[in-house]
Structure 1
């Protein structure tokens, strides 16, 4: 059991949980950065968590739900007040309605999570600060203390798994619900270079191609919120297709949200949220895709979308050293 101390202090309105793990600090930090890993320990086994957004940067936000054994759900959110990788982060932790809006009828807490090395391992100290003694007692009655104990205990198995989330692994796709899919991959490259590779037309034309044999003759990038983008591909056989959409939100170099629709087709409009997070070994790229229905979700997944993404990301990884070398000049030679 990694938990070494649990301390409830009515005088300071705090609940402190301290746990120790036999792995470096960076490994534990990355488990919090990656929603695929965070879901494996945040919340008790009977109420597993699903993160539909996880933007771990100062001013960012996470949205999650916990699903009970009978299918019931409880929604929550984190608002990131401070992120100092890999030492600590602080969030406002609150309850939410199913649409993600804060449930102001229930209390919030300020949660600070600190990471420090101890010998060859690490110590994680989680301090939850409450607004009043009544709220502290209410949340403890609701199971918060036991929930934190369970979460800390489950991290052991997650951080011991070094291979499942390693840099360079193929794209993983997870169904988050009837209308959402999350894809994730660690790209072996710097955060700013990966962002640039998604927004520089000359670079995009060299990697965002899917299977071999395709080119990208049209690459019009949206830079400001409200602008539209247009991407088109063609092959030697004369086949051609493309996508267009609007940039809904952008926080360079971390997050971009766009709509997407097939040009000239009857495919549904999707909303794609891309989040980039620095982790050991590179940059974690996560895309949450929201479809209008489960049928639309399954139809698009059935096109081989994930395999095409992996082919493109593998190509991007091979290109990133060149992007890094040419960063100072601001140009990338075309081929």
Structure 2
């Protein structure tokens, strides 16, 4: 059990939890900033978590929900107030629905997570500030302390799993819901380098090609919210296939960490998908996370079955080899 102490101070309205780990501080930080990893231990054992958004930068947000044994869901949202990469972050933690909309009928809390080195491993100190003595008692009565202990009992297995989340593993597909998937990959380059590679036309044409034998003929990125992007590809001579392309609107941008766009195949009618791209600093480069929300489960299954993820992996490998090397 990693928790070594829990202390509650009614005067300062705080609860402080100290936990120690055999893993390094850097490895522990990765576990908390990678949505694939934190969702494996954030919820209690009986209430596993799913993170549909996890933006670890000042002004970023995280959306998650926990699912109980009977299918009941309890959601939460973090607003990142401060981030010192590798060392600490501070959030406002609130109850929310499954879409990340805050439940203002329930109390919110301020939390800090501090990561330190210690002999033989690392230490994390989590301090929670409550708005009032009543809030503190309410949340403790709801099982907050017991839930945290149950959740953290799972973290050692995640920290020991070095292979599942390492650089070089390739693009990783996870199904989040009937209409939503997440594709993740650690890319060997800085967040700034990977962001530029996604937004400079001459760089896009060097790597965003999918399988070998295709050329990107149009690369028109969106710059400001409301702008439209356009991307088109054509097969090289002797390669089977028909030219195709995508277009969409830039809905949100917080360079170089996050952007949200619509995406629709050119010439195809219907509701577009929503793409949420997040870049997070990682020990080996940048963790790229792409959450895609499709109009329906049928559209999701159809797109995934085309070999989309294999094409993305070919492009990301080319990005490392041709642009970031």
Q: Please state which band the TM-score falls in when normalised by the shorter chain.
A: over 0.9
What is the aligned partner in structure 2 of residue 116 from structure 1?
Answer: 116
What is the aligned partner in structure 1 of residue 274 from structure 2?
Answer: 271
Q: Is the 8 A contact 2:64 2:98 kept in 1?
A: no
Post-superposition shift, 1:150?
2.0
- Deviations along 1:131-174, whole A, 9 cap, x unmatched? 11110010011111112212222211111111110012111111
Runs of 4+ more than 6 Å apart: none
Structure 1 length-normalised TM: 0.94
What is the aligned partner in structure 1 of residue 191 from structure 2?
Answer: 191
What is the aligned partner in structure 2 of residue 48 from structure 1?
Answer: 48
Mapped partners of 1:97, 1:165: distance in 2? 28
Mapped partners of 1:262, 1:318: distance in 2? 28
Mapped partners of 1:20, 1:293: distance in 2? 43
Post-superposition shift, 1:2?
1.4
* SS in structure 1 at match of 2:196: helix
* SS in structure 1 at match of 2:303: helix
- Deviations along 1:27-50, whole A, 9 cap, x unmatched? 000101100000010011110110
Post-superposition shift, 1:18?
0.6
Structure 2, gaps ≥5 residues long? none
Structure 1, gaps ≥5 residues long? 323-335
Mapped partners of 2:22, 2:323: distance in 1? 33
- Deviations along 1:90-112, whole A, 9 cap, x unmatched? 10000013332211100111111
1:315 and 2:302 aligned: no
Once the two structures are overlaid, the 10-residue window that deviates more, 235-244 or 178-187, is 235-244
1:249-288 matched pairs, under 5 angstroms = 249-266=252-269, 268-288=271-291
1:289-328 matched pairs, under 5 angstroms = 289-322=292-325
Mapped partners of 1:321, 1:261: distance in 2? 28
Q: Give the aligned length.
A: 322
What is the aligned partner in structure 1 of residue 101 from structure 2?
Answer: 101
Q: Is the 8 A contact 1:109 1:131 kept in 2?
A: yes
Mapped partners of 1:199, 1:321: distance in 2? 14
Post-superposition shift, 1:227?
0.4
What is the aligned partner in structure 2 of residue 203 from structure 1?
Answer: 203
Once the two structures are overlaid, the 10-residue window that deviates more, 158-167 or 96-105, is 96-105
Structure 2 length-normalised TM: 0.97
- Deviations along 1:183-239, whole A, 9 cap, x unmatched? 100001111100000001001001000011000111111111100011000012572
Q: Is the 8 A contact 1:189 1:320 kept in 2?
A: no
* SS in structure 2 at match of 1:92: strand
- Deviations along 1:267-309, whole A, 9 cap, x unmatched? 6410000000001111000000001111111111111111110
Post-superposition shift, 1:87?
1.1
Mapped partners of 2:49, 2:130: distance in 1? 22
* SS in structure 2 at match of 1:198: helix
- Deviations along 1:7-29, whole A, 9 cap, x unmatched? 11212111111110011101000
* SS in structure 1 at match of 2:216: strand
